[in-house]
Amino acid sequence: MRIALDAMGTDTAPAAEVAGAIGALRDSATQDVEIILVGDEDLVRAELARHDDVPEGIRVHHAPDRVTVEDSPASVLRRKPNSSMVVGLKLHKAGEADAFVSAGSTGAVMASSLFTLRPLSGVDRPPVGTLLPTAGELCLLLDAGANIGCKPGHLVQFAHLGSTYMRDVMGRKNPRVGLLNIGEEPGKGDELTIETYDLLTRETGLNFIGNIEGRDIIRGECDVIVCDGFVGNILLKFYESVAGYIVQLLKAEIGPVGDSNSGLERVFRVLDYAEYGGAPLLGLGGVSIICHGGSPPKAIHNALVVAARAGRSGLVQHSAEEFQT
């Protein structure tokens, strides 16, 4: 199991990537994984030299160039062929790595992954999934922003891709699928959700549990929530910011929280997105995990754990089978 990690993606690259990779190799879930740090070899080696006891299983693959936020996402593949992002993706495509992780510009990772790894047969618009903390277990929301103006058939594809992901990567036996909507009853919603509801009830191989309102998400009563990328993106970014705000508010009001107050630390952990690893791009002929540009080492570490699980479980094969008739 080898993972290609774009070492030049985060705002603090390659520091967060190197520390995250070292953390992952000390983690029992991923200590047998080989991590290929893709980036400027001098910079990456200099960063590695700042760590004591670098574990075995780290390899550096030189890529002299780097994708920036100024690069138009669609042009990265053509204009930055020697960037850490493109070189890493190509290692995965060529079978020299079993998964790819990047905290580079989200649009660029999406576009480059799409054109390099290609959509699976039967997948029209590969979605981005994102795990939301809930009062129950984590729940996968998709699409989180890759696809605006979806048709009902796209949301049905998301339901299959999300279910496969939650089975393979999160170990959910029979993932419950909810349709994000503004009412519980079947006839509620806009054109998209009314027709999607109808299609989902007639679809086989899905555990569709009906409409999910905004207020139901936090209860954690489903494993997969499907929606158009417009509302998904707004919801996701809102949740991240609210969680961050509340943590900040609490810390300002009650002062720093040390180990002595483990209860509060647990609350912060629920609110802390870094715990949950990156956002998978689903429905492609490979595993591509997108992290925030502001990812700390812990988030990179967790994304590597997710990438390893996705690679080992046969997610891509199982996703492809989901669309074979």
CB of 98 to a second copy, least distance (A): 32
Interaction residues for a second copy, span 217-256 (CB under 8 A): 217-219, 229-231, 233-242, 245-246, 249-250, 253-254
Residue whose CB is less far from a second copy, 200 or 236 = 236
Q: Are 124 and 96 in contact (CB under 8 A)?
A: no
Which of 153, 214, 294, 314 binds a second copy (CB under 8 A)? It is: 214
Burial class of residue 42, CB neighbours in 10 A (0-12, 13-18, 19+): exposed
CA 153 distance to own-chain centroid: 22
Size, binding site for a second copy by CB under 8 A: 43
Interaction residues for a second copy, span 110-139 (CB under 8 A): 135
CB of 77 to a second copy, least distance (A): 22
Q: Is 46 in the site for a second copy (CB under 8 A)?
A: no
Residue whose CB is less far from a second copy, 169 or 192 = 192
Q: How far apart (Å, rounded) are the C-alpha atoms in residues 74 and 278?
A: 21
Q: How far apart (Å, rounded) are the C-alpha atoms in residues 168 and 100?
A: 17
CB of 309 to a second copy, least distance (A): 27
Residue whose CB is less far from a second copy, 5 or 217 = 217
DSSP 162: H
Q: Is 74 in the site for a second copy (CB under 8 A)?
A: no
CB of 134 to a second copy, least distance (A): 8
Residue whose CB is less far from a second copy, 230 or 276 = 230
Q: What is the dihedral of CA 248, 290, 103, 131, to 10 degrees?
A: 20
Spatial neighbors of 113 by CB under 8 A, at least 6 apart, are: 89, 100, 281, 284, 286, 288
Q: Is 294 in the site for a second copy (CB under 8 A)?
A: no
CB of 17 to a second copy, least distance (A): 24
Q: Are 282 and 161 in contact (CB under 8 A)?
A: yes
Q: In Å, what is the CA distance from 38 to each residue of 74, 170, 244? A: 21, 27, 31
Residue whose CB is less far from a second copy, 194 or 209 = 194
CB of 75 to a second copy, least distance (A): 17
CB of 172 to a second copy, least distance (A): 21
DSSP 127: P
Interaction residues for a second copy, span 152-211 (CB under 8 A): 180-182, 189-191
Q: How far apart (Å, rounded) are the C-alpha atoms in residues 181 and 213?
A: 5
Tell me the three state secondary structure of residue 251: helix
Burial class of residue 157, CB neighbours in 10 A (0-12, 13-18, 19+): buried
Residue whose CB is less far from a second copy, 3 or 274 = 274
Q: Which residues would be at the binding site for a second copy (CB under 8 A)?
A: 135, 145, 148-149, 180-182, 189-191, 213-219, 229-231, 233-242, 245-246, 249-250, 253-254, 261, 263-264, 266-267, 270-271
